[in-house]
């Protein structure tokens, strides 16, 4: 359907109006843009700037003269972050995490959305809420919950699982965290897909029905292709979220100290800011998060590019 519309639009009138229309588009964007500058752009610029500075004692002596000064160090902080073994180890962990978790979560989110949209059940609202509810549980509560559900002495699930199962064992803990993220965000992604499904005109289904298509064919031939944009967005967001993985490892680390303060790159950045990891301060912390942003951006761009190639 969009194709035919595009064709119709190529009327001469369009170019005459394009100047004015261009301004209109920008005006629609403008209010958000103002907010974006205040809430994101200025802090980002401050962040990038502080990545170029280190916080060192001004005077000598045992207590550095009682003052820290910002010393311009150029790219030193970035180089230090990029050559920090802990950073790359953490990156390796989140990469492993993402490879397992993202396909699982996006796949289940998509599948559940299709099920709810396929007229199997009437109480759609109930299921939609049930799946989304985990996202509404505040992090501080989820921390208590998972610490309890995973602690070997307390977990109510262990008696139903094979002997020797330990959710917190070093080689299992990434899967345990993947489960936490999947639990929290599957419903979130499902809502994105549901909204995308709502945008598909029902007439398409009627047409398909006239052609004798089954529900399965409607799902695979019509719905999934039309959800491509939404799926791409959900996956990009998940990639970024995975590079910034923080809540889950922090929860697990609070009851598994062996994980350390630098289990993921984001933990390294946050704990540098909080003075729990040396070198500390806003300089090193900003440099680490900049490096994370570059990696996340590159991954997202590669994925989006690959999708576009595949699409053409």
By rule CB under 8 A, what count of residues binds another protein? 147
Please tell me whether residue 246 binds another protein under the rule CB under 8 A: yes
**Smallest distance from another protein to CB 39, Å:** 4
- Tell which residue, 54, 58, 38, 37, has the closest CA to residue 287: 54
Q: What is the 3-state secondary structure (H, E, C) of the chain?
A: CHHHHHHHHCCHHHHHHHHHHHHHHHHHHHHHHHHHHHHHHHHHHHHHHHCCEEEEECCCCCCHHHCEEEEECCCHHHHHHHCCHHHHHHHHHHHHHHHHHHHHHHHHHHHHHHHHCCCCCCCHHHHHHHHHHHHHCCHHHHHHHHHHHHCCCCCCCHHHCCCCCCCCCCCCHHHHHHHHHHHHHHHHHHHHHHHHHHCCCHHHHHHHHHCCCCHHHHHHHHHHHHCHHHHHHHHHHHHHHHHCCCHHHHHHHHHCHHHCCCCCHHHHHHHHHCCCCCCCCHHHHHHHHHHHHHHHHHHHHHHHHHHHHHHC
Identity of the residue, 92 or 297, whose beta carbon is nearer to another protein in the bound complex: 297
Please select the residue that binds another protein; options are 85, 162, 164, 212, rule is CB under 8 A: 212
Identity of the residue, 99 or 214, whose beta carbon is nearer to another protein in the bound complex: 214
Single out the segment in contact with another protein by CB under 8 A; choices: 23-31, 88-96, 98-106.
23-31
Please tell me whether residue 169 binds another protein under the rule CB under 8 A: no
Identity of the residue, 100 or 237, whose beta carbon is nearer to another protein in the bound complex: 237
Identity of the residue, 10 or 310, whose beta carbon is nearer to another protein in the bound complex: 10
Please select the residue that binds another protein; options are 104, 145, 175, 224, rule is CB under 8 A: 145
Please select the residue that binds another protein; options are 112, 113, 178, 268, rule is CB under 8 A: 112
Residues 249-268 that bind another protein (CB under 8 A): 254-261, 266
Are the beta carbons of 55 and 76 closer than 8 angstroms?
no
Residues 223-242 that bind another protein (CB under 8 A): 226, 229-230, 233, 237, 240
Please tell me whether residue 131 binds another protein under the rule CB under 8 A: yes
**Smallest distance from another protein to CB 140, Å:** 5
Please tell me whether residue 120 binds another protein under the rule CB under 8 A: yes
**Smallest distance from another protein to CB 69, Å:** 9
**Smallest distance from another protein to CB 12, Å:** 13
Residues 24-63 that bind another protein (CB under 8 A): 24-36, 38-44, 46-47, 50, 54-57, 60-63
């Amino acid at each position: 359907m969009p194709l035919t519309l595009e064709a119709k639009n190529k009327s001469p009138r369009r170019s005459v109006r394009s100047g004015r229309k261009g301004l209109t588009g920008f005006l629609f964007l403008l209010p958000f843009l103002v907010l974006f500058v205040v809430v994101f752009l200025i802090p980002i610029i401050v962040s990038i700037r502080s990545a170029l500075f280190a916080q060192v004692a001004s005077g000598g002596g045992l207590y550095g003269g009682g003052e820290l000064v910002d010393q311009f160090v150029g790219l030193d902080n970035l180089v230090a972050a990029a050559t920090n073994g802990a950073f790359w180890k953490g990156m390796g962990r989140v990469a492993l995490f993402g490879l397992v978790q993202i396909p699982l979560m996006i796949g289940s989110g998509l599948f559940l959305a299709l099920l709810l949209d396929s007229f199997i059940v009437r109480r759609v609202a109930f299921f939609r809420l049930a799946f989304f509810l985990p996202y509404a549980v505040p992090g501080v509560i989820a921390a208590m919950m998972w610490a309890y559900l995973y602690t070997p002495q307390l977990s109510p699930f262990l008696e139903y699982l094979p002997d020797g199962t330990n959710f917190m064992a070093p080689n299992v803990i990434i899967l345990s965290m993947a489960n936490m993220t999947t639990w929290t965000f599957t419903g979130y992604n499902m809502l994105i897909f549901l909204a995308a499904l709502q945008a598909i005109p029902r007439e398409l289904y009627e047409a398909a029905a006239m052609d004798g298509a089954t529900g399965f064919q409607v799902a695979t031939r019509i719905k999934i292709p039309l959800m491509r944009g939404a799926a791409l967005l959900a996956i990009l967001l998940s990639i970024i979220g995975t590079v910034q993985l923080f809540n889950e490892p922090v929860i697990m680390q609070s009851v598994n100290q062996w994980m350390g303060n630098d289990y993921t790159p984001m933990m390294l950045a946050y704990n540098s800011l909080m003075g729990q990891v040396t070198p500390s301060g806003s300089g090193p912390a900003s440099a680490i998060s900049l490096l994370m942003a570059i990696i996340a951006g590159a991954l997202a761009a590669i994925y989006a590019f690959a999708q576009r190639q595949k699409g053409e």
